[in-house]
Amino acid sequence: MKEFSAYIRRIYKDRDYLTRSRVLHLFVFNVASVLLGTSSNFFLWVFTGRYVRIGFSIMAVASAISLFFLLRKNYETALNVVLAATIASVTFGWFWGIPNIGSDVGNKNLVLVIFIMIFLYFTDVRKTILITIYSFALIMTDEFILKKDHGTVYTADRIGLFAMFTVISILAVKTLYGSVREKNELIQEIHHRVRNNLQVLSGLVEIHSDSGKADFQSVLSDFQNRILAISEVHNYLYKSENYFDIDFSEVIEGIVKNLSVKSGKSSIRIETSTERIFLRIENALPCAMIFSELLSNALSHAFPFGEGNVRIRFRKDENKFRLIVEDDGTGIPDSEIWRRPKTAGFTLVQILTKQIKGDFRILLEGGSSAVLEFGV
Angle among Cα 259, 263, 265 to the nearest 5 degrees reads 115
Residue 369 confidence class, pLDDT cut points 50, 70, 90? confident
What is the distance between the alpha carbons of residues 211 and 342, in angstroms, rounded to a whole number?
A: 9
Higher pLDDT among residues 228 and 289, named by residue: 289
With 0.85 as the threshold, say if the pTM is over it: no
Q: Residue 245 — φ and ψ, nearest 5°?
A: -115, 140
Q: What's the pLDDT at 50? A: 63
Burial class (CB in 10 A: 0-12, 13-18, 19+), 210: exposed
What's the CA gap between 111 and 134, in Å, rounded? Answer: 13
Which pLDDT value is given to residue 142? 82
Q: Is 78 helix (H, G, I), strand (E, B) or coil?
A: helix
| 190 C-beta neighbours (distance < 10 Å), count | 12
Q: Which of 64-73, 96-105, 202-211, 218-227 has the lowest mean pLDDT?
A: 96-105
Quick one: 215-375 is in which CATH superfamily? Histidine kinase-like ATPase, C-terminal domain (3.30.565.10)
Calpha distance 155→193 (Å, rounded):
56
φ/ψ bin of 106: left (φ > 0), alpha (ψ from -120 to 50), beta (otherwise): left
Residue 208: pLDDT above 70?
no
Between the alpha carbon of residue 111 and those of residues 22, 31, 359, the distances in Å are 21, 18, 66
Q: Of the given ranges (38-52, 258-272, 332-346), which has the lowest mean pLDDT?
A: 332-346
Calculate mean pLDDT across residues 339-347.
69
Of the candidates 197, 368, 155, 371, the one whose C-alpha atom is nearest the C-alpha of residue 281 is: 197
37 CA to centre of own chain:
41
For residue 15, give the DSSP letter.
Answer: S
pLDDT at 212: 56
Is pLDDT of 243 > 50? yes
**Is it the case that residue 330 has pLDDT exceeding 70?**
yes
Sorted by where each begins, the domain ranges of the chain are: 1-182, 215-375
Q: Are 8 and 23 in contact (CB under 8 A)?
A: yes
Q: How far is CA 8 from CA 13, 18, 72, in A?
A: 8, 12, 11
Write down the pLDDT at residue 104.
47
Residues 90-121: tens digit of each pLDDT: 998 888 765 544 444 557 888 888 899 999 88
Cα–Cα distance between 325 and 327 in angstroms, integer? 7
- Residue 137 reports pLDDT greater than 50: yes
Q: pLDDT tens digits for 40-87?
A: 888 877 777 666 778 888 999 999 999 999 989 899 999 999 999 999
Summarised one tens digit per residue, pLDDT across range 296-325 is 888 887 787 778 889 999 998 878 899 999
Nearest to 259 by CA among 215, 218, 290, 229: 229
